[in-house]
Amino acid sequence: MKVLVVGATGGSGRAAVTELVARGHEVTALSRHASSLPDVRGVDGDATDPVLVDRLVQGQDAVVVTLGISESAVRVRLRGPSGTPLDIRSRGTRTVLAAMRRHGVRRVVVQTSYGVGPTKEYLPLASRLVFALLLRPQIADTERQGAELRASGLDWVEVQPVNLTDEPWAGPPATSTDGGIEGLKVSRSQVGWLLAEAVEDPLLTRRTVSVSAGARVPVTA
C-alpha cells in the first residue's frame, strides 16, 4: 500500500514508519525533518499547510497521523510550546481529513491518547489529575482531534496508547476496543506496530483501540 505518515519524526511516527517499511509498504513521511528518514520519501513541511497536505494525500491508500508536541509538558503548561502550535493535533488532523475527503482516500489511522473520548471514563484517578493539572490544554486539543476523526465519515481507526516509553521491542502489545488495558505504560515501538496493524486490518475500521504493554489480547475483543 501507499501510506502517508504525518508527524513522522516523533517517537511513534518513526516507529510506525519503520514498521510500515518492514511490511513492504511504500511510505511517504511528512514532518519538519522528514527528509532525514531512510527508506522513505521524506518531505519536510507543516501538517497544517493545506496545499502541501493536499498534494501528499493525493494517490495514497491510507494515512497515519501521529502529531504531538515533543517539548516538556511542564514548559508547555507554563509558557506554551516554542515551536509547535498548541492545537497541532486537531488542526493538523482536520487538514488531513479534508484532503482525504477531496481525493477519495478512505483509510486513516490517528494516534490520540488513552483517557480521552471513548476511554475517558476508564482513566485512573491519578492520571485524571495529571490531565487536569499538567496536560489540560493538550488534552483538550486531543479531545477535539478525536471527535473530528470519529465524525469524519472515513474508514478511521483511533489508536489510544497509555504512557509512552522508549523501552525496546518486547513483542506485540495488549490491545482492546472496550477500554481495557494491561498497565499504564507501552513502548513507542509497540505503538508503531499497532499503527501499522491498523492500516492493514479491516476489522478495526471505526474502532477506538486502547494499547498498553503486556500479554497480547485480540484487538477485536
Instruction: Enumerate residue ranges in the chain where pLDDT < 50.
Output: 216-218, 220-221
Cα atoms in the 13 Å half-sphere on the side-chain side of 194: 37
Identify whether 141 is part of a domain.
Answer: yes
- Considering only CA atoms, which of 164, 146, 177 is closest in space to residue 213? 164
Element (H, E) at 22: helix 11-22
**Which grid cell sits at 77?**
503548561
Task: Please report the pLDDT score of residue 143 as a whole number.
Answer: 98
Query: How many helices (H) and strands (E) in the chain?
Result: 7, 10
- 219 in a domain, yes or no? no
- Print the domain residue range for 76: 2-212
pLDDT at 176: 96
Give pLDDT, residue 221: 43
CATH of the domain at 154: 3.40.50.720
pLDDT tens digit sequence for 166-183: 999 989 999 999 999 999
pLDDT at 81: 85
Residue pLDDT, tens place only, 49-91: 999 999 999 999 999 999 998 877 767 787 788 888 899 999 9
Is 217 within a domain? Answer: no
Domain count, the chain: 1
- The reported pLDDT for the residue numbered 215 is 53
In a domain, 109, yes or no: yes
Strand, helix or coil at 36? helix
pLDDT score recorded for residue 216: 44
